[in-house]
Structures are given as C-alpha cells and as structure tokens.
C-alpha cells in the first residue's frame, strides 16, 4: 500500500489535494531514509531559503560573548558566525550566501578572523551582504569581504575606525582620599588600573595599537577593489545614498530585492516542493501550476527590483542634472561677474591712462615754461653783470679824469651833491656815476 493510501484511509481531510500529495511524498522519503539525509540540520545562525544560505548577524559581534552579553546586548559570537559560514559553504543545498547584518560593530578580537572566513567563502560561492539597519565598524569590516554590499534607504553604513576608551579615575580617587599603588613588572603592565593615570609612553602604546588595527581595517576594506576615499574612513557613518556615492555599498529596496538578485544572477531556479518529492514521482498539473505561479512571482519580484533600481538611477540622474545645471548657472554668474569686473577694470585703466597723459602733458608744458623763465633770467643776470662791469669801468675812468683835473693823487669822492658833504659815506662807482647826472637840489 502506498503512503498516500495510508494517509487517506485513516481519517477525513480538510485540505487541498496537492498538499496531501506533498505530505505523502515526505512520508515516503522519510520511510526510505532520504528526508533527513538530503536536509541535514543547520546552524542556528544559518537559514537556507531556496538555495541561498542566509547567515543572520544581528547585534554586537564579540568573539566569545558571556551569558550577560548574549542576553543583555543580544551579542553574536564571531566564532559561531564563522561556523555558520563554513557550514553554508559546505552545504550542497546552498548555492550562494547572504549575510543579513544589523550590527553596530563589536570587538577587534575575532573580527579579522570572521572577515577572513567571509573572504574564503566568496572564493567558493557568491556572498552578498545586506543591512536594513546598521552595518558599522566591525560589521562593515566583515561585509567588505563580500562580493557585493547592499543597504536599504534608511540604513546606516560605515564607521570605519578604531576606538579604545579609557576612564581616568585618578582625580576621583584623590578626592576620595584614596591612593592606588601599583607594583608591576613593566612600564606597560599597569595600563588600565583604576585610580592610575596613563603615562605618555602608555598613551603612545595605545595610539600605536589603534593605528595598527586601523591599518588592517583599511587594507581589508580596500582589498576587494572598492575605491573608497580616505575622507570616508574617519569613523563617520553614512546613509545608504551617501554610502553608494562613496562606494561603500549599493542601495536596495529591501532584503527580498537582494535575495531576488542573488537568485537571478547566482542561483539556479529550484522549486522547494519539487525538491522534497522523490525523483520518480511525476509532477501533477497542480505541481506544474504551482511551479508556474512561483516563477511568475519570481519574475514579478525581479521586475519590481529592476523598477526600483531604475527609479534609483533616475533619481541619481536627476540629481546629477540638477547639480550640473546649478554648476552651469554658478559658472555663468561667475563668468558674467568676471566680465563685468574686467570691463570696469579696463574702463578704470583707460581713465587713469588719460588722466596720466593729461597730467604728463601739463607737467611737460609747465617744465618748458619754467625752462624758458630760467633761460630768460640767466640772460638777464648776464646782461646785468655785464652792465655792472661796464658801469664800474666808466666810474673808474671818470674818477681818474677828476683826479687828473684837480691835480690830486688822492682819489676824489664823487657824489651827486658834490664834494662838500660832511663825512660822506663811501659810494660804489655805479652810484657815483648815476648821481652825477641827477639835478642839484
């Protein structure tokens, strides 16, 4: 008797025939030992959905979280995540892997190993990463090793950086009247002791540790060829749109859109119900109809994804056009301002040149006039000097004549009033000569 006959003979059913056939097929598979041999139990962090292994990384990533960290912070063990990824790689039913991430980051310990496990997995199967919430710091380090990274519009991505917080309680201890004495075998052994401030050498050591970890972080992020600028790796987070512009991630509508992309590009289309039915079982009309409906749904999902991608590209194109128009308008305004400034400068230069030419012409004329005046004065001075010499000669000659007529060897003092003036003042020859021609009073 067939398994289907056994199921039907025991009790009445309120169920569709195809579902009852599915139950019978799984019963037969269980009886022959094929059910669990084909579908081994999976890791708690791993879920297989139509040939896609989905690894759930929700919460802080800690190498070995304690019970309190797991319960209070919902922390994820990075070692468990590595185990889940290894199982997804080895699983025959998994053709591609999706890291479903919603994590603010985690501890440095264990992150590099988890990222390396993802990089190794991507060599065997295609690995995508998606976040609808946070993909920051350690979580982004892990995601950076995937073949592709996607984020929903409201997600936050990035925070590429390293931090070591240190609480200096030395002053609080001092105010409380407490003094911490530390006996250590080395100058770095006491780092982090409560009540003790850091020394400069200890600070330099911590800075060096941060720089080393960040160097590994940066190298891992750029290892897959993503051209992320240095200014985007200063510890800041970005929206999905900003992350896409800075090459940190792509943008997708939601996780279903990323899953549809994985199925379309890297996963074979396999019907879930058909996989559970033995190969000898013929497909019924209902099975074929279900498969066709599933394919139609897949096509609709892919079409929706393409429409969403086209919408995003159209928005980006419109933004680029708006930025280009703004730049053109800004350039036009700057060009007009430059031309106006150049015209004004040319006008000022021409005016200054004209004024300078006028001033130069006036100065030249004035210099010519002054030169002429100087020449005239020079000639007048020469004439006066010659006249004075002539007068002196004539006066000397007249004085000699007077002395000869009077028969005196003493030079006569000739004045216009005669020689009878008491104590006459000495006169120049020119004055003596001029006064003799004046009428007597």
Distance CA 145, CA 123 (A): 10
Task: Using the CB atoms, write b or e for 205-228: b if 16+ within 10 Å.
Answer: eeeeeeeebbeebbebbeeeeeeb
Which stretch of 5-9, 60-64, 332-336, 364-368 has the lowest confidence by average pLDDT? 5-9
Which stretch of 212-216, 258-262, 310-314 has the lowest confidence by average pLDDT? 310-314
Average pLDDT, the chain: 79
Residue 247: pLDDT above 80? Answer: yes
255 and 100 Cβ atoms separated by less than 8 Å: yes
Residue 100: pLDDT above 80? Answer: yes
Query: CA dihedral defined by 169, 174, 175, 178, rounded to 10 degrees?
Result: 100
104 and 60 Cβ atoms separated by less than 8 Å: yes
Model confidence at 272, pLDDT cuts 50, 70, 90, reads very low
Paired strand residues for 149: 129
Closest CA to 316 of 134, 153, 144: 153
Amino acid 282: pLDDT: 40
Amino acid 329: pLDDT: 87
Can you list the domains of the chain with their CATH numbers? 39-160+228-279 (3.90.226.10)
What token pair was written down for 92?
């025959």
Q: Enter the DSSP assignment of 199.
A: P
Taking the CA atoms of the chain, what radius of gyration do you get in angstroms? 54
Q: At what angle do helices 285-406 and 17-31 cross, to 10 degrees?
A: 100
Amino acid 113: pLDDT: 93
Please state the rounded mean pLDDT for residues 255-268: 82
The SS3 call for residue 97 is strand
Tens digit of each residue's pLDDT (9 = 90 or more) over 159-185: 898 888 888 888 888 888 888 877 878
What token pair was written down for 77?
């063990």
Beta-strand relationship, 156-158 and 126-136: parallel
Which stretch of 138-152, 276-290, 329-343, 395-409 has the lowest confidence by average pLDDT? 276-290
Phi/psi of residue 425, nearest 5 degrees? -80, 150
277 and 25 Cβ atoms separated by less than 8 Å: yes
Phi/psi of residue 280, nearest 5 degrees? -75, -15
Tens digit of each residue's pLDDT (9 = 90 or more) over 15-71: 555 555 655 666 666 666 555 444 555 678 888 888 889 999 998 898 888 887 788
Which residues fall within 8 angstroms of residue 116, CB to CB, at 6 or more apart? 145
Amino acid 327: pLDDT: 86
435 and 416 Cβ atoms separated by less than 8 Å: yes
Please state the rounded mean pLDDT for residues 362-377: 89
Q: What is the pTM of this model?
A: 0.55
Tens digit of each residue's pLDDT (9 = 90 or more) over 377-431: 888 888 888 888 888 888 888 888 877 777 655 555 555 444 445 555 555 666 6
User: What percentage of the chain exceeds 70 in pLDDT?
Assistant: 74
Amino acid 274: pLDDT: 32
Paired strand residues for 277: none
Model confidence at 129, pLDDT cuts 50, 70, 90, reads very high
Dihedral sign for Cα atoms in the order 342, 346, 351, 356: positive
């Amino acid at each position: 008797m067939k398994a289907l006959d056994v199921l039907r003979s025991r009790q009445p059913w309120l169920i569709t025939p195809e579902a009852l056939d599915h139950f019978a097929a799984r019963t037969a598979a269980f009886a022959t030992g094929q059910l669990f041999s084909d579908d081994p139990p999976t890791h708690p962090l791993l879920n297989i959905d139509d040939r896609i292994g989905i690894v759930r990384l929700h919460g802080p990533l800690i190498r070995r979280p304690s019970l309190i960290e797991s319960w209070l912070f919902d922390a994820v063990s990075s070692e468990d995540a590595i185990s889940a990824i290894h199982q997804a790689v080895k699983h025959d039913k998994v053709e591609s892997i999706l890291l479903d991430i919603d994590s603010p980051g985690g501890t440095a310990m264990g992150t590099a190993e988890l990222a390396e496990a993802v990089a190794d997995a991507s060599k065997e199967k295609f690995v995508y990463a998606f976040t609808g919430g946070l993909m920051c710091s350690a979580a982004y380090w892990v995601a950076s090793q995937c073949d592709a990274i996607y984020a929903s519009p409201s997600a936050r991505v990035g925070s590429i950086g390293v931090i070591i917080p240190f609480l200096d309680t030395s002053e609080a201890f001092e105010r409380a009247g407490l003094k911490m004495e530390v006996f250590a075998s080395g100058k770095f052994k006491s780092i982090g002791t409560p009540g003790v401030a850091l020394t400069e050498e200890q600070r330099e050591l911590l800075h060096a540790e941060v720089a080393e970890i960040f160097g590994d972080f940066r190298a891992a992020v750029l290892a897959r060829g993503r051209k992320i600028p240095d200014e985007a790796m200063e510890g800041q987070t970005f929206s999905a749109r900003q992350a896409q512009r800075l090459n940190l991630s792509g943008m997708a509508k939601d996780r279903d859109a990323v899953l549809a992309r994985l199925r379309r590009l890297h996963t074979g289309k396999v019907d879930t119900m058909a996989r559970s039915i033995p190969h000898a079982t013929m497909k019924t009309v209902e099975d074929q109809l279900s498969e066709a409906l599933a394919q139609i749904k897949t096509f609709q999902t892919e079409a929706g994804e393409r429409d969403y991608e086209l919408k995003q590209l159209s928005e980006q194109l419109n933004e680029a056009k708006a930025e280009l128009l703004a730049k053109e308008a800004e350039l036009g305004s700057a060009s007009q301002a430059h031309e106006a400034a150049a015209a004004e400068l040319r006008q000022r230069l021409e005016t200054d040149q004209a004024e300078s030419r006028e001033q130069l012409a006036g100065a030249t004329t004035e210099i010519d006039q002054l030169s002429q005046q100087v020449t005239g004065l020079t000639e007048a001075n020469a004439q006066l000097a010659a006249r004075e010499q002539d007068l002196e000669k004539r006066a000397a000659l007249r004085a000699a004549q007077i002395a000869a007529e009077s028969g005196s060897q003493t030079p006569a003092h000739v004045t216009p009033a005669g020689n009878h003036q008491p104590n006459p003042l000495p006169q120049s020859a020119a004055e003596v000569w001029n006064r003799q021609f004046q009428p007597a009073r």
